[in-house]
Amino acid sequence: MLMKALRVGLGQLVILIDFLTRPAKKKRTPDAQAAVEASAKDLTLYQFQACPFCVKTRRTLRRLNVPVALRDAKNNEIDRQTLLTEGGKIKVPCLRIEEGDKTVWMYESKVIIDYLDKRFSAV
């Protein structure tokens, strides 16, 4: 019971620190931002709200100003089941990338952040 309370408390602290120190969004021309939004429409991030690695990934999305659908794999049973059945495991963060008829499930915050930086930094 004590460990759960400590974990929940630390999770809330992580969320508060993230809120207080959020990075500024990247500024783009309206046309460039529209292109980013169109490119990001096939991306979905499966995450837990208080997971430090998920926070790190969401901060990158904010910094790059990339709107991505967020799925709560902890509190939403449908999202959790989708992550397990289609992605193969319940591990977050996980970026779902739909490319035509192919779907890629990308795990590990560092890999996801590298992918996002390469795909959206120059735009």
Q: What is the pLDDT of residues 32-70, one digit of tens each?
A: 999 999 999 999 999 999 999 999 999 999 999 999 999
pTM value is: 0.89
Counting the structural domains of the chain, the total is: 1
Summarised one tens digit per residue, pLDDT across range 59-118 is: 999 999 999 999 999 999 999 999 999 999 999 999 999 998 999 999 999 999 999 999
Q: Looking at residue 110, which CATH number applies to its domain?
A: 3.40.30.10
Q: CA torsion angle for 2, 71, 116, 111 (degrees, to 10)?
A: 50
Q: Return the structure tokens found at 106.
A: 């990308």
* Structural domain boundaries enclosing 41: 2-120
> What backbone phi and psi angles, to 5 degrees, belong to 44?
-140, 135
Which class for 8: exposed (0-12), middle (13-18), buried (19 or more C-beta within 10 A)? exposed
